[in-house]
Amino acid sequence: MIRVDTPLSEATVRQLEAGQKVLLSGVIYTGRDAAHKKLVEELEQSGRMPVDLAGQVIYYVGPCPAKPGWVIGSAGPTTSYRMDPYAPHLIRAGLRGMIGKGNRSPEVARAMQECGAVYFLALGGAGALLAQRVTKAEVVAYPELGPEAIYRLEVADFPVIVGLDATGRDAYEEGRRRFAAPAGAAR
């Protein structure tokens, strides 16, 4: 397990390897497909976004309302492929990391390799546990989207796994190969 602070530099990202367990600390932003669409539209229209994503990490989550005494409600990852049409644009605009669950498209993987970005996996079904790693939360863009607004989260030791690294190595593919039955073996 390694500890990594945000914002992420290209050098830090290029040292991470698929399958590594990481504890993230610092600032991360939230965003799902509605927010991603708006970010890319603004980027294409004005060349700017309401949040500077250079070196930053976006967590694909729409957090639940906070319970009394909690900073944020349950905050489990959403499926990442819904952001794939937008992610290459944001990576080219400086985004260094993404957190979600599931596979990514070849276009996203290519942009990550070209620009030096990383895709982290968060454990689905562990939203309440992950929320306990959030020390501060505030809406910073698109409040009209409700839970899908962009939040600025401060996190401490937020547990993730490198799912797709900047060289193109994919933890899902490596896991399938590692645990595949040998040819001709009974299943």
pLDDT for the residue numbered 184: 57
3-state SS, 103-165, equals: CCCHHHHHHHHHHCCEEEECCCCCHHHHHCCEEEEEEEECHHHHHHCEEEEEEEEEEEEEEEC
Could you give the domains of the chain? Answer: 2-178 (3.20.130.10)
Its pTM stands at 0.93
pLDDT for the residue numbered 74: 92
Residues contacting residue 179 through CB under 8 Å, at least 6 positions apart = none
pLDDT for the residue numbered 183: 61
Two tokens at 143? Answer: 């409040």
pLDDT for the residue numbered 185: 57
pLDDT for the residue numbered 146: 92
pLDDT tens per residue across all 187 residues of the chain = 999 999 999 999 999 999 999 999 999 999 999 999 999 999 999 999 999 999 999 999 988 888 898 999 999 999 999 999 999 999 999 999 999 999 999 999 999 999 999 999 998 888 999 999 999 999 999 999 998 999 999 999 999 999 999 999 999 888 888 888 566 555 4
pLDDT for the residue numbered 174: 86
